[in-house]
Chains A and B, each alone.
Chain A
Amino acid sequence: MRSEQKLSLSKSLGRAYRQIIYLLLFISLSIPLIKPIGLPVPIHETTLGVYNTIEALEPGDVVVMASNIGAAIASEVYPQYIAVLEHVLRKDGVKILLVDHSTEAPIWTEKALEELNAYERKSYGEDFVHIGFIPGGESGIAGICRDIHSLIQVDYHGYSLSELPMMAEIRDATDFTIVIDFSASADTQFWLNQAYAPYGTRVAFGLTAVKVPDAVAYYTAGQIFGIIESLKGAAEYEILIKRPGIAAKGMDAQSIAHLLYIGLIVVGNIIFFVSKTQRKR
């Protein structure tokens, strides 16, 4: 009877291996979030590329922050957006043009502006303008790069672009100093295709981890000047601007969870090879 009970317990555990793994993952992520370990976060060259370029900006330069942030990718990309926006807001005289190319992005852009007190720190219309959502994907971005005033007449808040002093000097992509695109999908290609290729505008990306491998090829070819890679890149940027936030806090959890994944792969393969050897015998 006892051995039957033991057998059924191990059988049950075997059947419930998925739930056990899910629970282990929850624990490995939750504990470092509740009690941070404080592991050092190394700064990568791709993040430094963005940071150094923004540091070198001069008064009068125009930074286009293009956002494709949606709820699905916000956990990875929104901390990057906040960190970069904070950095640019600290640069006196630099103009910021905030453009959205997804339906959800305008809400996140406004959230970021409120979180950083941008409306109090800077003058809307003179230092920064939020254009809002541009539909049409690549054709919308092409329209902005070609002639922003003919595509858009009013900004996100309903003000006419012609009434905003900053927009008097910004007509097309030749007036953009740099473009930083925060995105997750093939949309990253759009700014390269429409701003970099025809006009030579310098472009950088803030990406989800899945898109980073594609962007690395652009970076090594010199087509973009930097990449902020997922939550890790956001953590690095927060450290560079000396404003640690949600991203830096999450890196400890990333580390422990990564060890869990590596452990699962190794253990799974050990079990596989051992049982394979036993079957051969």
Chain B
Amino acid sequence: MDTISVLVSTALILMIYSILYRENPAFRLAENILIGATVGHSIVVGVFQVRDLALSKFISGIQTGNIRDIAYIIPMTLGVLIYFQFSRRYKSISRISIAVMLGVGLALSTRGLLFVNVIGQVKGAMLPLNNIKNIVYTFGLISVLTYFIYEERASKMAGPLPKVGRYLLMLTMGAYFANAIMGRLSIVIGTLNTLLMSPSCYLIPVALLLIVADLFIRTKVAKVSKT
């Protein structure tokens, strides 16, 4: 990466980190730049996808007379119709496009979830009850599912199962929390790796000076307004 790119990206990183000091215009500017950049990138990618996946096939279909390729006019039309979402009067038309996407998505996820999440996991849970570990895991899973489905409404026959399930879920939340910390730290480490390299590191004292100056000015202003 060339020097200008490094310096610009470092400045943007420090502008974002400035929120840790306090809310300020530099952070808001960087935030809005990110929103604009992300949206612009999505549009560019979307347009190229339509060009490569549909438009080129439709044009070749017209040239060769292939019906299946000419039929690509349908998804292109449906894609345009989805923008009727923003019209108060003709909003309902966009539902057709949503219906196609939703229908495909639901069918794909249904068949996948059934085999992976339900059948696959239940199969994996069918452990031979020939040692303490397997007995604990099986009893634990039943407790968790009992708590999930019935919560506090479980009958007295369920005994301690829902309560045990709740405790096991707390344990699981602890695992999620520990991993969330590890994940976020990894991201900060990646950013700091960039910041601590030359020439990025030379901007850090500049940022610190600006913060100290701001602190000094605000303290002075507070003192003057008190007197």
Contacts and interface: CB of A to CB of B under 8 A. Distances in A.
Interface string A241-256: 0000010011001100
Interface stretch (A37-45, A58-66, A121-129, A189-197): A189-197
B124 A220 contact: yes
Interface string A58-83: 00000000000000111110000000
B185 A193 contact: no
B190 A76 contact: yes
> Which secondary structure characterizes the binding site on chain A?
helix
A30 interface: yes
Given A139-B105, A190-B112, A221-B120, A254 B182 contact: yes
A213 interface: yes
A22 B20 contact: yes
Interface stretch (A48-56, A87-95, A204-212, A268-276): A204-212
A130 interface: no
A261 B101 CA distance: 44
B121 interface: yes
Given A213-B179, A246-B193, A250-B193, A257 B185 contact: yes
A189 B186 contact: no
Interface string A179-221: 0000000000110111011100000000011101100011011
Contacts of A222: 124
A172 B41 CA distance: 30
Interface residues on A, range: 35 or more
A29 B189 contact: yes
> Which secondary structure characterizes the binding site on chain B?
helix
B176 A213 contact: yes
B183 A197 contact: no
Contacts of B57: 153
A267 to B, nearest CB: 16
A19 interface: yes
B183 A194 contact: no
Given A194-B112, A197-B112, A209 B190 contact: no
Contacts of A232: 182, 186
Given A213-B172, A213-B175, A230 B182 contact: yes
B158 to A, nearest CB: 23
Contacts of A165: none
A11 interface: no
A221 B124 contact: yes
Contacts of A209: 179-183, 186
A176 interface: no
Nearest to A203: B116
Contacts of A230: 179, 182-183, 186
B42 A142 contact: no
A122 to B, nearest CB: 25
Scoring A151, A210, A232 by chain B CB atoms within 10 A of each residue's CB, the highest score goes to A210
B115 interface: yes
B99 interface: no
Contacts of B42: 103
Nearest to A257: B185
Nearest to A29: B192
Interface string B123-139: 11100000000000000
B119 to A, nearest CB: 9
A189 B189 CA distance: 28
A72 B188 CA distance: 11
A202 B32 CA distance: 42
Nearest to B52: A154
Given A76-B183, A209-B186, 8 more contacts: A75-B189, A103-B45, A139-B104, A139-B108, A194-B112, A210-B180, A221-B124, A249-B193
24 contacts: A22-B20, A33-B189, A75-B188, A76-B187, A138-B109, A142-B108, A193-B116, A194-B108, A194-B112, A197-B112, A197-B120, A208-B183, A210-B180, A213-B176, A217-B121, A221-B121, A221-B123, A223-B120, A230-B182, A231-B189, A253-B185, A254-B182, A254-B185, A258-B182
Interface of A: 19, 22, 25-26, 29-30, 33-34, 72-76, 103-104, 133, 135, 137-139, 142, 151, 153-154, 189-190, 192-194, 196-198, 208-210, 212-213, 217-218, 220-223, 230-232, 246, 249-250, 253-254, 257-258, 261
